Amino acid sequence: MSRNGAGAGPDRRRGKRRETPLVPYAGRAAFSALDGLRQMVYPLRMQVLTYIRGSSMDNHRSAKERLMTAAVELMAEKGYDGTTTKEIAAAAGVNEITLFRHFGSKQQLLEQVFRSFHYGDEMTALFREALTGDLHRDLLLISRTYHRIMNRNRKLLSIALKGSGQLPQEVYREAGRHPQILRDLLTGYFADMAAKKKVYTPNPEMTALSFMWMNYGAFVSGLEAKRAAPEDKIEAFIEESVRLFVKALTP
How far CA 60 is from CA of 54, 65, 99, 166, in Å, comes to: 13, 10, 14, 33
* pLDDT the model gives residue 155: 86
* pLDDT the model gives residue 223: 73
* pLDDT the model gives residue 36: 54
* pLDDT the model gives residue 7: 46
Query: Which residues does the chain have with pLDDT short of 50?
Result: 1-31, 46-60
* pLDDT the model gives residue 118: 73
* pLDDT the model gives residue 121: 87
CATH code at 118-251: 1.10.357.10
* pLDDT the model gives residue 201: 97
Give alpha helix (H) positions in 56-197. Answer: 59-78, 85-92, 96-103, 106-117, 120-129, 135-152, 154-162, 169-195
Neighbours of 154 (CB within 10 A): 17
Angle between helices 204-220 and 169-195 (to 10 degrees): 130
Neighbours of 174 (CB within 10 A): 20
For residue range 21-69, list pLDDT tens digits in order.
443 444 444 445 555 555 555 555 544 444 444 443 344 457 999 999 9
For residue range 8-24, list pLDDT tens digits in order.
444 444 444 444 444 34
Alpha carbon 112 to chain centroid distance?
Answer: 18
Q: pTM for the whole thing?
A: 0.69
Q: Which regions of the chain carry the CATH code 1.10.357.10?
A: 118-251
The domain 59-109 is placed in CATH, from the list 3.40.50.410, 1.10.10.60, 2.30.30.280, 3.40.50.2300, at 1.10.10.60
Sign of the CA dihedral running 195, 201, 206, 210: negative
